[in-house]
Amino acid sequence: MAAAASDQNTSLMANAIRALAMDAVQQANSGHPGAPMGMADIAVALWGRHLKHNPGNPHWADRDRFVLSNGHGSMLIYALLHLTGYDLPMSELRNFRQLHSKTPGHPEVGVTPGVETTTGPLGQGITNAVGMALAEKLLAAEFNRPGHTIVDHHTYAFLGDGCLMEGISHEACALAGAWRLNKLIALYDDNGISIDGQVKPWFIDDTPKRFEAYGWNVIANVNGHDVDAVDAAIVQAKSAGKPTLICCKTTIGKGSPNRGGTAKAHGEALGAEEIKLTREALGWTSEPFVIPETVYEQWDARHSGLAAESKWVDAFEAYGKAHPELALEYVRRVEGHLPKNFAQVAVDAALAAHTKAETVASRKASQIALEAFTKAMPELLGGSADLTGSVFTNTSSTPALRFGDDGSSNGGRHINYGVREFGMAAIMNGVALHGGFIPYGGTFLTFSDYSRNAVRMAALMKLRVVHVFTHDSIGLGEDGPTHQSIEHVASLRLIPGLDVWRPADTAETAIAWACALESRQRPTALILSRHNLPYAPKSGLDDISKGAYVLAEPSEVGLKKKAQAVIIATGSEVSLALHAQQLLAQQKVAVRVVSMPSTSVFDRQSVGYKTSVLPAGLPRIAVEMGVSDGWWKYGCAAVVGIDTYGESAPAPVLFKHFGFTAENVVATVLRAISR
């Protein structure tokens, strides 16, 4: 916190934000000045009187989390970070929205010190905040002990009407109420304006009643330009036994004589003349990008932040003496390190799968692997979007998470998200951002469309999040084309920074899980089958983690000759490729079978390794139950794929109907060789 409330000149503090916002947007000739100017007083109340943070250490584990869900108002958080003492000099504010600056158009975690999450797609910030608050609550229950409270912080979110219009806000906020996240406090910037103008024609929700129905504590009709009133509301919120929404009535572009309260203040620079008039109206006499020293003194949170963290460090030292093993585990967890025995657990899981060589659906293979990993890793926090019995994300080590009437948790580690795919994905991002847990969640692959934007955000933020997508193809059968994934795998592969795995058997699935858990800066999508997959015999497991490997040479089927072609397959189609190899061998045609469970991982390998798997000069035929387009990059001569929607029928009937038979693969290979 900055200066004591009694010593604050709140008007000057707020106007400093307004000045920086309008000057930076004007200089860039791009951006959104209205929200920062309208929320400046709310920011003074929260950041000046309540927020527990240390500008000298943005990663202090027990800091309060602040999320600017309406991320278009990014100059608000940049102004706050600069004024309170973070490593964000004025030169960066002058460089707002410019190439390689620390002040991009929307806040980006990892770019700007003090930014907790990347926001911009509306609704996802508040949903991330729900995930952060959930992580805090579960960590507190797990690690705090009588007389030793080491996890004790709030999650605050600013949001606007755009966030509330997005359906994801309903998904997330309903869950926050069900989970009784009492340390989640959201401040709603109720200004009644969006880009298109007054929101009344299309947004008539009774927001307070909506949130009351979710089980939230609601503080309505707060004057968002009265710092003391907002301060009092935050004080009240802190004592509530459930999440709180503070509804702050504000004027967008507050201070602008001609644009304040209008859509003209929302998404464009005010203009030189209007800025001049605004300065006069506010009584702000400083030049652009100049802040009086007295204002810096009012805002400076470096001393108080250091004192707060030092107090916590002392408390943690006492905790470590009283509970040394717990202290070490807490540090490991929040720093994101895997257990010391992780490598052995991973090897054992893969070897067990290889030894047993079971014929099971890869969704079941995933659960088998999870049994080993969840037993060894208390940080694994799973879940499902109302499909637990189908996606198999639960294990014996992860009982269902439940909360009592007093808000206490039962220590469960499997979350029933309900039918909320998008909310689940964005909440998982928030959990990962908070630290202390590695989240994973499951749904049908077709419904990855609902969660896609949060999956993309995880990739953009480089988060260790695992998406379990099952029922991956026309092998779903009778549920028909609405549920059969065709384009989804290819679409997910297009997301930069996302590793997509489509394993063929239990060993590949175990290794895919191990790679996902080791991947600290990449989310992972596991693509899994509903139908049973036979184990693919293999001489070793070492190369699976490279994304693709030689599964079977012609010698495996009795041919003592070099391969004439390469069949590349993934997931359930690997067994099909092996069957085709056998049939081709009967015709004295020699082919190599390559299993490629992860194209993205394979693409990162050395040229030498890639050439060893896919030799130059041999025709390549890809086989996968999905759109064919993505396979042409591997120089394929042909692709056995599906470029239409599916049909409703038993899976074996569909396989034959769409050409996923060994005989069709054989014919395709022969045509490719004969060219």
Dihedral class, residue 146 (left if φ above 0, else alpha if ψ from -120 to 50, else beta): beta
Instruction: Examine the pLDDT at 424 and tell me if it is beyond 90.
Output: yes
- What's this model's pTM, rounded to 2 decimal places? 0.97
Q: Do 75 and 33 form a contact (C-beta atoms < 8 A)?
A: yes
Query: What average pLDDT score do residues 255-264 get?
Result: 97
pLDDT band at 5 (very low <50, low <70, confident <90, very high): confident
Report the DSSP pairing between strands 549-552 and 591-595: antiparallel
pLDDT of 159: 98
DSSP 347-389: HHHHHHHHHH---EEHHHHHHHHHHHHHHH-TTEEEEESS-HH
Report the DSSP pairing between strands 193-194 and 565-569: unpaired
pLDDT of 7: 74
Query: What average pLDDT score do residues 618-622 get?
Result: 98
Instruction: Examine the pLDDT at 1 and tell me if it is beyond 90.
Output: no
CA–CA distances in Å: residue 356 to residues 222, 318, 348:
64, 48, 12
Instruction: Write out pLDDT tens, residues 233-245.
Output: 999 999 999 999 9
Q: Do 516 and 584 form a contact (C-beta atoms < 8 A)?
A: no
Q: Do 195 and 267 form a contact (C-beta atoms < 8 A)?
A: yes
Instruction: Write out pLDDT tens, residues 135-152.
Output: 999 999 999 999 999 999
CA–CA distances in Å: residue 484 to residues 439, 471, 499:
26, 7, 21
Instruction: Examine the pLDDT at 675 and tell me if it is beyond 90.
Output: no
pLDDT of 8: 82
The percentage of the chain sitting over the pLDDT mark of 90, rounded to a whole number, equals 99
Q: Is 287 considered catalytic here? A: no
pLDDT of 482: 95
**Closest Cα partner for 597 from 644, 636, 541?**
541
Helix axes 421-434, 167-178, angle to 10 degrees: 60
Query: What average pLDDT score do residues 348-365 get?
Result: 98
Torsion of CA 428, 431, 433, 438, to 10 degrees: -80
Instruction: Examine the pLDDT at 95 and tell me if it is beyond 70.
Output: yes
Instruction: Examine the pLDDT at 6 and tell me if it is beyond 70.
Output: no
Which residues contact residue 4 at a Cβ distance below 8 angstroms, ignoring those fewer than 6 apart?
A: none
Query: What average pLDDT score do residues 296-319 get?
Result: 98
Angle at Cα 46 formed by Cα 44 and Cα 50, nearest 5°? Answer: 120
Instruction: Write out pLDDT tens, residues 154-188.
Output: 999 999 999 999 999 999 999 999 999 999 999 99
CA gap 335, 314 in Å, rounded: 19
Which of 136, 268, 421, 624 is an active site residue?
Answer: 421
Q: Which two tokens stand for residue 504?
A: 């063929």
Q: Which two tokens stand for residue 246?
A: 């503070």
Instruction: Examine the pLDDT at 462 and tell me if it is beyond 90.
Output: yes
